Structure 1
Amino acid sequence: MATEAKLRQLAESGCPVYYFYSSERYLVRQAVAAAVRLLSADSDEEATVLDGAAPELEQLIMAAGTISFFGTRRVVVLPELDPAAYSDKDLDALCETLSSLENAVVVLGSVFPLERGKLKTGKRAQKLTAACKKLGYAEELAKPKPYELKVMMIERAKAQGATLPEGAATALLERCGEDPFLLENEVDKLCALSGYQTVTAAMVAEMGTVSLEADVFEMTRMITAKNATGACKKLQALLRLQQEPIAITAALIGSYVDLYRVKLGSARRKSYSTVFKEFGYKGSDYRLKRSAETASHYTLGQLEACLQVLLDLDRSLKSQPVDAEVLLEAALCRLALAGSGR
């Protein structure tokens, strides 16, 4: 996203149009808010917000043509614009209005779906983007990469007088996912828990947002490290939290399927990011990156044996009257053996 210095430079140069678009709604909202805040800083007049996917052009023309009482350009905001919601004729009129701004500056935001890792924009969206680039400033907002999120978390903890080591930041990222707002809230909570000292990975595991997938993947790494005892202890903790055995098994199967896919991809000289695209995963490929690191300790044959163990576990849980906890513990031990090639 454009830095505050960049936005300030654009404002000082008289840039009349700012367009931010992304697949992530929170990024668009954040960028639009930052631009509006800076553009309105020298005025006591609130920005005019035109909500909806296709605000009426008459409203935009009226808002943009009204002279500000304070002698500054009026800030008009279209935060949820969908170019495809306009007809070709109305979109032409919108672009024409943007090109003839005299008393206003317009900030626009759009959210588009992803398709094979790229924004799915139609002809109208492309036309609007081209017009905004020609008239002012347009930016596609890329989702922050995992390392950028870790830096963000570490800096946020530092601003509060606390320390968030990289290991704890990694654990928090794995547990909570890649939503910056959720991560910021978790950092604030953990900083308070630490007494604004050092946040540890143990604190993240104990007090962080509960994530079954993250806990199960941690079990998978323990099994890979031949620590079946630690995996069984983790299992006991999940059961005490009343996690369902079927749900734990499903998460285990998902983890090992990920390992198998990236291992199979590696055998075909395909990266984890290629596997991510070809199998239609959603969100970030960070999950498969971690899976690739773990899968490097296995052969394809060992992973196939592990998947057979999990298939047997799934069948047993659904058909045998044996205690589910016993079946799960036995499966973890069998996974450890299958992973060691015995």
Structure 2
Amino acid sequence: MPAETKLAVLAEQGCPVFYFYSTEKYLVHQAVQAACRLLAQGTEEEMTVLDGAAPDVEQLVMAAGTISFFGTRRVVCLPEVDPGAYSEKDLEAFMDTVASLENAVLVLGSVFEAERTGKAKPGKRAQRLIAQCKKLGWAEELAKPGPAQLRQMMTDRAQAQGAELTGPAASALLDRCGEDPYLLENEVDKLAAASGYRTITPALVADMGVVSLEADVFEMVRMVTARNAAAACKKLQVLLRLQQEPIAITAALIGSYVDLYRVKLGQQNKKNYTAVFKDFGYKGSDFRLKRSAQTAAGYTLPQLKRCLNILLELDKNLKGQPVNPQVLLEMALCRLVMEGGSR
């Protein structure tokens, strides 16, 4: 999101249009809200909000053309506009209105699909509107925040409520929630309250954080990698007490080791985890592969092949043998510990 000082300078200069777009709805929402708050400061004029992907152009014309009783320009906000949803005729009328603003300042926001590079992929009509807004005022693509930025965002949010979020706790939240800012904010708010607005610890995240089988199993994999069979089995017992199905736990284990194998294979072919993410067609964030790359450093490729064979055998035994599933899972974890990982 652009710095508020930058927005303030643009507003002072009379910038007629602010356009924020991204692949992330959260970022667009935050930027649009920040710009609207800034533009509305010191005025008594109510902001006009036109919701939806394609607000009626006549409504926009009326809102933008109405003269303010207070001698200030009206703020007209279109928080989720999609230029591709307009017909060619309506888009031309929309752009004509943007080009002839006198009594209003527009704040626009759009969310677009992502390209393989992770950048926004606006369509041709959106590209035309972006180009016009850049020429007339301000248009900016908001880059998706990385783990470091998300940790800082969570830390700041906790501090604003009088709580402290430790570094390990922030990492644990990322493991459980992924890189979803909305979910991370909600979790910080919940855990800050649970901590009595004191310190949010990894233990509190584990006890009260959002339940994520994938995150819990990956934590178990890291225990295996560290050759800590006792801790891995203890974690398994917790998952079973939470009534996680043995087959689901096994599937998550297999998924984690497949990720490790793919990343390790990529490393041997001089490809980083980002390239692996693209080549294998993963969806969403590449954060899970970044974690896998760190864990895969403790293995050789042959070790990971043998680990996958152990898990294949576990899967077959769970589906075909009348043996206690917990016993089968614990045996598999101990075999994985013996097979490889950090030494």
Q: How does 1:65-144 map to 2 (within 5 A)?
A: 65-116=65-116, 117-144=118-145
Partner Cα separation in structure 1 for residue 80 and residue 157 of structure 2? 29
Shift of 1:194: 3.0
1:45 maps to 2:45: yes
The within-5 A match list for 1:119-198 is 119-198=120-199
Distance in 1 (CA, whole Å) between partners of 2:80 and 2:208 is: 36
2:257 counterpart SS class: helix
> How far apart are the structure 1 equivalents of 2:159 and 2:36?
28
**1:39, distance to aligned residue in structure 2 (A):** 1.2
SS of alignment partner, residue 118 of structure 1 = coil
Q: Which runs of 5+ in 1 are unaligned?
A: none
Once the 2 structures are TM-superposed, how far is the Cα of residue 265 of structure 1 from its aligned partner? 0.1
Q: Deviations over 1:193-249 (max 9, x none)?
A: 333333221121111111111110000000000011110100000011111111111
1:85-132 deviations in Å (ceiling 9; x for gaps): 122332222212111100011111111111312322211111110000
Which deviates further from its counterpart, 231-240 or 38-47?
A: 38-47
Distance 2:90 2:208 in 1: 52
1:199 is the counterpart of 2:200: yes
1:14 aligns with 14
Specify whether residues 191 and 56 from structure 1 end up closer, same or farther in structure 2 by C-alpha distance, changes over 3 A only.
closer
**SS of equivalent to 1:322:** coil
Task: For 1:147 and 1:28, locate their aligned partners in 2 and report how far apart those are by CA, in whole Å.
Answer: 19
- 1:340 positional shift: 5.7
TM-score by length of 2: 0.95
* Aligned mates of 2:44, 2:24 — CA distance in 1: 31
**Aligned CA distance change for structure 1 residues 232 and 98 (closer, same or farther; 3 Å):** same
Q: CA deviation at 1:283?
A: 2.5
Give the Cα–Cα distance (whole angstroms) in 2 for the partners of residues 98 and 212 of structure 1.
48
Question: Normalising by the residue count of structure 1, what TM-score does the alignment of the two structures yield?
Answer: 0.95
Alpha-carbon distance in structure 2 between the residues aligned to 1:257 and 1:20 = 38
Quote the Cα distance in structure 2 between the aligned partners of 1:144 and 1:11. 25
Q: Secondary structure at the match of 1:27?
A: helix
Alpha-carbon distance in structure 1 between the residues aligned to 2:26 and 2:157: 18
AA in 1 matched with 2:123 = G
Counterpart for residue 211 of structure 2? 210
Map of 1:235 onto structure 2 = 236
Contact in 1 for aligned 2:119/2:143 (Cα 8 Å): no
The yes-or-no answer on 1:303 pairing with 2:290 is: no
Aligned letter for 1:296? A
Change (3 A) 1:340 1:121: closer
Identity rate, percent: 71
Matched residues in 1 for 2:201 and 2:80: separation? Answer: 40
> Which 10-residue stretch deviates more, 309-318 or 131-140?
309-318
Whole-Å separation in 2 of the counterparts to 1:199 and 1:90: 51
Residue type of the partner of 2:145? P
CA distance in 1, matches of 2:190, 2:169: 14
- The one-letter code matched in structure 1 to 2:66 is T
- Residue deviations 1:134-172, cap 9 Å, x none? 011111111111001111222222333333221121111
Does structure 1 residue 271 correspond to structure 2 residue 272? yes
Structure 2 alignment gaps of length 5 or more = none
Amino acid at match of 1:261: R
Bigger mean CA deviation after superposition, 257-266 or 64-73: 64-73
Paired AA for residue 307 in structure 1: L
Deviation of 1:30 after TM superposition, in Å, equals: 1.6
| Residue 61 (str. 1) matches residue 54 (str. 2) | no
TM superposition shift of 1:308: 0.9
Q: Give 3-state SS (helix, strand or coil) of 1:115's partner.
A: coil
Rounded to whole Å, the distance in 2 between the matches of 1:106 and 1:45 is 14
2:21 is paired with a residue of what secondary structure? strand
Cα distance, 1:14 vs. partner?
0.4
Q: How far apart in 2 are the matches of 1:187 and 1:271?
A: 31
Aligned with 1:237: secondary structure? helix
The 1:49/1:247 distance shift into structure 2, 3 A limit, reads same
Q: Which amino acid aligns with 1:86?
A: Y
Taking the aligned partners of 1:6 and 1:112, their CA distance within structure 2 comes to 24
- Aligned alpha-carbon RMSD (Å): 1.6
Deviates more, 1:112-121 or 1:8-17: 112-121
